[in-house]
């Protein structure tokens, strides 16, 4: 009897209970964060139409009667152009070496391109790790296009991983909730047997301040020009309960710095007469109050940190 079986027997969990870590990879904007949120059933990962919006390893936890699936959401793998890009890729490689299975997200509505092939070659170096192909955004194509994409994905699998190819190929639409449960089933099959790793009811192990920063970043990126995503970093400087409030009516004061690389970007974030920053604050506040379960006061300041993406000292200070 294995150590895991002993653990399961002693803990009262079913003998075939499985638990472990899965990571989604894919080029930027392949639907990784949206799928994480759909599987967990609550918003834990920032989602945006802008590429490269996820910068931290965010874990979502799926609790089932037969399994606990812990999702590690990584930044999109890409050919790096800056020091930040290289650090993000290093973070992905480190994460992938530690997980039990990998979900490779490939959008149904875009032909397989050099970015997908680059990722496949990187994944081929992780020997004997189960890799499941998840053909995302299946709602955006018709049946024939979906069938063609599934064939193309299968071919890429055999080219990179030998004749057996991918461990499984699953078309999915997180937005339409099509096959989301099937994705969970297939990923769970790849996990080792063992007891749950997190207490029931926990949805993520992210520190609250980091999740607050991500919600503000998401609100700040909404509807702005393409030049901003890579250049915006959000740091929660302080989160403190407001003194003198009654227990029934608490308020948390949150002081936040938004860093951009140029004065022109600062003007974009602030908007005319501060209108855009007020809008960012009010949009982010809704999500933050839901997350923390209490009213919050948001104090946002926009600062310029010149070329921070290329400066090791500044990257460290901003949490990268």
Task: Confirm whether residue 219 is marked as ligand binding.
Answer: no
Region 155-173 average pLDDT: 95
Task: Confirm whether residue 74 is marked as ligand binding.
Answer: yes
Q: What backbone torsions phi and psi does residue 262 show, to the nearest 5 degrees?
A: -140, 155
Task: Confirm whether residue 27 is marked as ligand binding.
Answer: yes
pLDDT at 62: 86
**Pair of tokens at residue 53:** 């919006």
Task: Confirm whether residue 248 is marked as ligand binding.
Answer: no
Task: Confirm whether residue 167 is marked as ligand binding.
Answer: no
d(CA 132, CA 163): 15
Region 260-280 average pLDDT: 89
d(CA 114, CA 249): 54
Task: Confirm whether residue 136 is marked as ligand binding.
Answer: yes
Task: Confirm whether residue 26 is marked as ligand binding.
Answer: yes
Q: Do 18-190 and 208-318 come out as alike in CATH topology? A: no
Rg (CA), the chain: 21
d(CA 177, CA 229): 28
Instruction: Give residue limits of the domains in the chain.
Output: 18-190, 208-318
Task: Confirm whether residue 57 is marked as ligand binding.
Answer: no
3-state SS, residue 254: strand
Q: Which helix (H) or strand (E) holds 145?
A: helix 143-161
Task: Confirm whether residue 30 is marked as ligand binding.
Answer: yes
Region 197-202 average pLDDT: 69
Task: Confirm whether residue 75 is marked as ligand binding.
Answer: yes
d(CA 170, CA 185): 11
Residue range 18-190 forms a domain whose CATH class is alpha beta
Task: Confirm whether residue 173 is marked as ligand binding.
Answer: no
Report the percent of the chain where pLDDT is more than 90: 31
pLDDT band at 218 (very low <50, low <70, confident <90, very high): confident
Contacts of 307 (CB under 8 A, 6+ apart): 261
Sign for the pseudo-dihedral over CA of 175, 176, 177, 183: negative
Task: Confirm whether residue 205 is marked as ligand binding.
Answer: no
Task: Confirm whether residue 93 is marked as ligand binding.
Answer: no
Cβ atoms of residues 232 and 300 within 8 Å: no
Residue range 208-318 forms a domain whose CATH class is alpha beta
Q: What is the pLDDT of residues 86-101, one digit of tens each?
A: 666 676 677 677 789 9
The verdict on pTM exceeding 0.95 is no
Beta carbons within 10 angstroms of residue 188's beta carbon: 19
Task: Confirm whether residue 158 is marked as ligand binding.
Answer: no
Task: Confirm whether residue 22 is marked as ligand binding.
Answer: no
| Straight-line distance from the first to the last Cα atom of the chain, in angstroms, rounded to the nearest whole number | 43
Region 94-113 average pLDDT: 89
Cβ atoms of residues 108 and 146 within 8 Å: yes
Region 233-243 average pLDDT: 82
Q: Which of 37-51, 65-79, 145-159 bottoms out in mean pLDDT, i.e. has the lowest? A: 37-51
Cβ atoms of residues 22 and 32 within 8 Å: no
**Pair of tokens at residue 95:** 């994460």
């Amino acid at each position: 009897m294995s150590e895991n079986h002993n653990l399961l027997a002693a803990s009262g969990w079913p003998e075939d209970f499985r638990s472990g870590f899965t990571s989604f990879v894919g080029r930027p904007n392949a639907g990784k964060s949206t799928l994480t949120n759909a599987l967990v059933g609550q918003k834990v990962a920032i989602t945006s139409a802008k590429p490269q919006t996820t910068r931290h390893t965010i874990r979502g936890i799926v609790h089932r009667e037969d399994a606990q699936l812990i999702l590690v959401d990584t930044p999109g793998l890409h050919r790096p152009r800056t020091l930040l890009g290289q650090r993000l890729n290093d973070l992905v490689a480190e994460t992938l070496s530690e997980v039990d299975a990998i979900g490779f997200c490939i959008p149904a509505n875009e032909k397989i391109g050099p970015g997908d092939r680059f990722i496949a070659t990187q994944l081929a170096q992780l020997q004997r790790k189960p890799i499941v192909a998840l053909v995302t955004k299946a709602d955006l194509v018709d049946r024939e296009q979906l069938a063609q994409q599934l064939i193309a994905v299968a071919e890429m699998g055999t080219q990179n991983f030998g004749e057996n190819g991918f461990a499984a190929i699953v078309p999915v639409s997180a937005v339409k909730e099509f096959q989301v449960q099937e994705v969970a089933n297939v990923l769970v099959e790849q996990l080792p047997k063992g007891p749950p790793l997190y207490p029931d009811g926990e949805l993520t192990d992210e520190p609250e301040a980091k999740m607050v920063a991500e919600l503000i970043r998401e609100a700040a990126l909404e509807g702005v020009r393409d030049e901003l995503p890579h250049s915006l970093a959000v740091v929660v400087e302080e989160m403190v309960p407001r003194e003198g409030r009654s227990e029934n009516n608490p308020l948390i004061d949150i002081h936040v710095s938004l860093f951009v690389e140029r004065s022109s970007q600062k003007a974009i974030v602030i908007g005319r007469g501060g209108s855009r920053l007020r809008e960012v604050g009010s949009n982010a506040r809704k999500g933050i109050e839901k997350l923390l379960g209490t009213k919050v006061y948001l104090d946002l300041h926009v600062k310029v940190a010149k070329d921070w993406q290329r400066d090791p000292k500044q990257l460290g200070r901003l949490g990268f």
